[in-house]
Amino acid sequence: MAFLPLIVALIMLLILRQSSVCAGLVTLATTLLIVRSAPGFFLAGSRLALATEQGVGASLTVLTLLGPGLLLSHLIRGTGASPLRLGP
């Protein structure tokens, strides 16, 4: 049952071709449903909120590290400033 959120995310992204935001929200909902309903994973409301907050914090940390690089890459490709052409 612990692999279910990963399977849902892969199905949403690869088979249904949904956006990463949509897939992330559906995966979060799936995870919260598992945590609230499965006896082995049950968390009380306050601990569930804390775990969700920590997950969002970790995601924001990754975004602050990768975001500027992705933005710079997009700007370089968009202006044609890079001598290396990887795609159309």
Greater model confidence, 7 or 77: 7
Which of 26-30, 40-44, 74-78 is predicted least confidently?
Answer: 40-44
**Region for residue 42 given its phi and psi (left: phi exceeds 0; alpha: psi -120 to 50; beta: otherwise):** beta
Rounded to whole angstroms, the Cα distance separating 60 from 58 reads 5
The confidence score (pLDDT) of residue 87 equals: 60
